[in-house]
Amino acid sequence: LFKQTIEKIIAAQTIINEYSNTKALNSNIIFFHPNFFEVF
């Protein structure tokens, strides 16, 4: 279970990074915080 959680966090971080890179100039960019990971 712990390993799966780590994998989900890594996957989410990758998605966030890609989103940030492609939408860096978007004023509507969403900023994620630690609570974001609680939904997994």
pLDDT band at 31 (very low <50, low <70, confident <90, very high): low
Residue type, 25: L
pLDDT band at 34 (very low <50, low <70, confident <90, very high): low
The pair of structure tokens assigned to 18 is 């890609």
Instruction: Report the pLDDT averaged over residues 36-40.
Output: 53
The pair of structure tokens assigned to 19 is 């989103």
Question: pTM for the full model?
Answer: 0.44
- Measured distance CA(16)–CA(8) in Å, rounded: 12
Residue type, 16: I
Choose between 25 and 2: higher pLDDT. Answer: 2
pLDDT at 14 over 80: yes
CA distance to 1, 13, 16, per residue, from 27 (Å): 37, 20, 16
pLDDT at 40 over 80: no
